[in-house]
Amino acid sequence: MGWIFYQVRQLDKWLAKSGRTAKPQLTGIYAYIIDRVVRLQKQHDRETEILRASLERQNLLISEVKDGVVLIDDKDRIKWFNKSAENLIYLNPKRDLGVPLRGALRQASFHAFYDAEDFTKPKRVCFDEATKSWLDISVTEYEDKEKLLVIRDASMLQELEDMRRDFIANLSHELRTPVTVLVGYLETLEMLDQDPTAVRIHTEMNNQCLRISALLKDLLTLSKLEAMDSKRSDAEIDISVLLEQIAADAPKLEEFDKHKIEVKVEPDLKVIGAETDLFSAFANLIYNAVRHTPAGTEIGIKAKSKQGIARVEINDKGYGIERQHLHRLTERFYRVESSRNSETGGTGLGLAIVKHALMRSGGKLKVESTLGKGSSFRCLIPLAPQPSDNND
Ligand code: ADP
């Protein structure tokens, strides 16, 4: 009994030290238990080593990627970041670990992006105006409220984008004057000509020049809007007044073909924006509804407020648009069906202008359409804050 008791004590002492000390010299079943424990320990050590090595490798891989990676905890504090994040957004491991993200990054543009909490798509943010540093930031939110920020340097892409925009703006600007002069001379020639063939030729030349002129005007408008995308305007605009005015002017359009226009606009719909931008957005949509629908069909202009958003709808009962085209309509020069559109004389830039004009008021465009039944273009624009909003 004494020997058994001694062996159990020895075994217990050894196990209490996690079996990491020298093996006690025991016999029988106790020696067997010690052997099994030692073997399990060795296996456990091997597995731990493999795990440690794989974790180390993963850490190394993530810290060496070119994109900045930042892990944020559920209280919005910085939990971890890699080397690229140090370079891209000037984080410092000694200073910023455990610090709230908003405190560590003080750039207003970053705050605007982060506070909007719209993380559905990566966003391009001007991180530092002085160094022209632009970042594409995407945020993944996890169930436990942790977030992963992936940050990519987009300065080069943005520079190219700016160059493209400036090039188009300059070119359109330079070409406008010569084209206007040509239009003037062609109109004079048209009046002077007696020969019907010459009149026909000059009329056609004049029409083509007018098309170029319209194209240049739209290209210029679009470039201006794109350049101002990030700068919101801050005037309060009553869009009810704007819509009534456009609807009243629509019958004067050359293309207006006895369409029936029904207007149902709630009064006092105030949004923050630039009047010319919103005017051009709504006018383009109404102009499209007139041009892309058969003569005599109905066009509805509706506007109401719902949950802090002004909803402006331009509905028509025209040809409708096939589903596969809908997501591409706001691309520059995208046309649903070239043969039909060349007759309508549009520039192909109208909906791109609408998209950017709405963006400047924080709004967006939604399109629904059924082939053969008609289309609905919906502008959703946040309403201007009411004076009572500040008294809460
Ligand atoms: P466009 O100057 O050709 O009208 P937009 O950018 O305004 O250019 O529109 C792009 C295309 O979307 C048009 O060419 C036309 O095919 C289609 N579209 C726009 N509005 C309508 C509408 N109300 N009904 C049917 N198709 C439309």
Digit-coded pLDDT (tens) for 217-237: 999 999 888 887 656 667 889
Q: Which residue among 253, 340, 351 is best mutated to probe the pocket of ligand 1, counting the most ligand atoms within 8 A of its Cβ?
A: 351
- Three-state SS for 166? helix
Q: Is residue 246 over pLDDT 50?
A: yes
CA–CA separation, 107 vs 129, rounded Å? 10
Confidence of residue 17 (pLDDT cuts 50, 70, 90): confident
315: which strand partners? Answer: 300, 376
Q: Is residue 136 over pLDDT 70?
A: yes
Place of tokens 């943010």: 125
More confident residue, 54 or 252: 54
Q: Is residue 101 over pLDDT 50?
A: yes
Q: What is 345-373 written as a DSSP string? A: T--S-HHHHHHHHHHTTT-EEEEEEETTT
Minimal-distance CA residue to ligand 1 atom 2: 346
More confident residue, 378 or 234: 378
Confidence of residue 382 (pLDDT cuts 50, 70, 90): very high
Q: Which residue among 329, 331, 334 is best mutated to probe the pocket of ligand 1, counting the most ligand atoms within 8 A of its Cβ?
A: 329
More confident residue, 290 or 230: 290
Question: For 29-38, 81-90, 310-319, which range has the lowest pLDDT when averaged over its residues?
Answer: 29-38
Q: Is there a contact between 312 and 302 (Cβ–Cβ < 8 Å)?
A: yes
β-pairing, 123-128 vs 133-141, is: antiparallel
- Three-state SS for 322? coil
Q: What is the mean pLDDT of the chain?
A: 88
What is the per-residue pLDDT across 175-191, written as a single tens digit (0 to 9) for each? 999 999 999 998 888 88
Confidence of residue 10 (pLDDT cuts 50, 70, 90): confident
Q: Is residue 247 over pLDDT 80?
A: yes
E strands, the chain, where? 68-72, 78-81, 123-128, 133-141, 147-153, 235-238, 260-265, 270-273, 298-306, 309-316, 364-370, 374-382
Token readout for 13 is: 């002492």
Q: Is residue 392 over pLDDT 60?
A: no
Confidence of residue 361 (pLDDT cuts 50, 70, 90): confident
What are the Cα distances from residue 60, in Å, to 12, 16, 347? 41, 36, 52
CA–CA separation, 212 vs 178, rounded Å? 11
The torsion angles phi and psi of 353, rounded to 5 degrees, stand at: -65, -45
Q: Is there a contact between 320 and 337 (Cβ–Cβ < 8 Å)?
A: no
User: pTM (2 decimals)?
Assistant: 0.75
Q: Is there a contact between 178 and 186 (Cβ–Cβ < 8 Å)?
A: no
Average pLDDT over residues 40-54: 92
The percent of residues in the chain predicted with pLDDT above 90, rounded, is: 48
The torsion angles phi and psi of 98, rounded to 5 degrees, stand at: 85, -5
Contacts of 22 (CB under 8 A, 6+ apart): none
CA–CA separation, 288 vs 81, rounded Å? 50
Q: What is the model's pLDDT at position 339?
A: 47
Q: Is residue 43 over pLDDT 60?
A: yes
Assess whether the C-beta atom of 321 lies below 6 angstroms from ligand 1: yes
Confidence of residue 64 (pLDDT cuts 50, 70, 90): confident
3-state helix, strand, coil in the chain (%, to 5): 50, 20, 30
Assess whether the C-beta atom of 319 lies below 6 angstroms from ligand 1: yes
What does the DSSP 8-state code read for residue 20? -
Q: Is residue 194 over pLDDT 50?
A: yes
More confident residue, 117 or 392: 117
Average pLDDT over residues 363-377: 93
Average pLDDT over residues 119-148: 91
- Three-state SS for 243? helix
What are the Cα distances from residue 147, in Å, to 78, 84, 120, 143, 174? 10, 17, 13, 9, 48
What are the Cα distances from residue 369, in Å, to 131, 221, 247, 318, 355? 45, 27, 22, 10, 17
Assess whether the C-beta atom of 329 lies below 6 angstroms from ligand 1: yes
Q: Is there a contact between 216 and 349 (Cβ–Cβ < 8 Å)?
A: no
Assess whether the C-beta atom of 335 lies below 6 angstroms from ligand 1: yes
Average pLDDT over residues 280-301: 90
In the reported structure, the alpha carbon of residue 38 is separated from the centroid of ligand 1 by a whole-number distance in angstroms of: 77
